[in-house]
Structure 1
Amino acid sequence: MKRFLQLAIFALFLAPTAALAHVGVGNTSGFAHGFMHPLSGLDHQLALILVGVFAYQLGGRALWLVPLTFVSVMALGGFLGVAGMPVPFVEIGIALSVIVLGAVVAFGFKAPLAVAMGAVGLFAIFHGHAHGSEMPLDASGFEYGIGFMLATAVLHAVGISIGFLIGMSSRTFGNNVYRLAGGLASVAGVALLLGYV
């Protein structure tokens, strides 16, 4: 697990920043906008980090299958958004993803792998559609998609790292830190749902 944490931290340092010095020019515009979209909203940040924490709690193959499912299905949702195909209740679905994933983390729900993948896949449709439908008109769809998929993977890695750190603290505090983190995230999700954030 120590090796995985080191790889996750290394992945954060690979996030391209110097290469994007000329944002707004050509294909980098698409990539930069796509990469920044998941990072620019609290709703996306919370949900994507919670997916990582949830995957860590499940352990085993879920550690990579749950985030991979989210990123893959989110790409499909992004395509629907770019194509202008409607998906109902996108903002509600995003807020509910924060509420539900926060509760799942707080209560340490040990879902079967298929159920976990199905649940995050459902939420990924909403997040992907929001990303796709907000793509700038002059951006390249391919680069934009790569950008938001990479940012999502980075946030999942952050969530897995947070899950690891919380797991380490559980030796002292039991599951109380998971409960606190998940509970606060769910409260934030309710605030998002009600339009307070």
Structure 2
Amino acid sequence: MTYRSLLPGLVALLALPVTALAHPGHGAAGFTAGLAHPWLGADHLLAMIAVGAWALTLGGRARWLLPATFVAGMAGGAALGAGYGAAALAEWGIAGSLVFFGVCLAAGRRLPLGMAVVITALFAVAHGHAHGAEAGGGTAWLAFGAGMVLATAVLHALGVLAGIAAQRLPAAGIGLRLAGGATAAFGAVALVGLLA
């Protein structure tokens, strides 16, 4: 399989149109529910793929540090959400993350690594908090969290593959920037929706 054959699917995945951030039906707990959850909400899906792609475009230690930071921040945020319940600010953080990561991809924005790590961690806590609040507490939450962490790592890997394709194929770089713009636009619409 070549990177070129993966590109159309990755670009289409990044540009999925969705009418709302809400993605109900995740009341189930357990590993399988946690594994499925990040794939079923476009907000989480787009952000996690964007982090992987942005990390690769930054290069160096960012390639592994940003995805690892996101996974760790999300796990911590999930523990907070499971323990303390929903927080309205989490949805703002999720929508803001889409704008931020989307703009960084679209503009080819490079930030100092320390700043990129801190911002990624803060947005990851928001994503994790939303996941954890939906999963609830109890022992089933641990299995849910393990599935969620695995799914997040896979989504980051897909983002890294998109970044690799962008580095190797000139047209893929344009596609990645367009996908970043679409992600940022999705986040902006979500922010406007939160104001309503």
Q: With the length of structure 2 as denominator, give the TM-score of the two structures.
A: 0.79
Determine whether 1:186 maps to 2:187. Answer: no
In 2, the alpha carbon distance for the partners of 1:100 and 1:78 equals: 21
Distance, in Å, in 2 between the alignment partners of 1:162 and 1:86 is 32
Q: What CA RMSD, in Å, does the superposition of the two structures yield over aligned residues?
A: 2.2
Aligned match of 1:40: 40
How far is the alpha carbon of 1:112 from its aligned partner?
1.4
Distance 1:150 1:126, change over 3 A: same
3-state SS in 2 of match to 1:195: helix
The residue number in structure 1 matching 2:150 is 150
What is the CA-CA distance between 1:59 and the residue it aligns to?
1.1
- What residue is the counterpart of 2:104 in the other structure? 104
Matched residue, 1:140: 140
Say if 1:169 and 1:177, in contact at 8 Å, map to a contact too: no
TM alignment of 1:1-40, pairs within 5 A = 29-40=29-40
CA offset digits 1:12-36 (Å, max 9, x no partner)? xxxxxxxxxxxxxxxx951011111
Counterparts of 2:141 and 2:40, CA distance in 1: 19
| Structure 2: runs of 5 or more not aligned | 3-27
Q: Which has the larger radius of gyration?
A: 1
Native 8 Å contact 2:95 2:188 kept in 1: yes
- Aligned identity (percent) is 42
Q: Deviations over 1:47-78 (max 9, x none)?
A: 00000001110111111111000100111100
**Is the CA contact 1:80–1:86 (under 8 Å) kept in the aligned structure 2?**
no
User: 1:107 Cα shift?
Assistant: 0.9
User: 1:88 Cα deviation (Å)?
Assistant: 4.5
Summarize the Cα distance change of 1:174–1:82 in structure 2 as closer, same or farther, 3 Å threshold. closer
Aligned residues: 168
Distance 1:135 1:51 in 2: 23
Q: Which residue of 1 aligns with 2:62?
A: 62
| Structure 1: stretches of 5+ with no match in the other structure | 3-27
Provide the rounded CA distance (Å) in 2 between the counterparts of 1:145 and 1:117. 22
Contact in 2 for aligned 1:82/1:132 (Cα 8 Å): yes
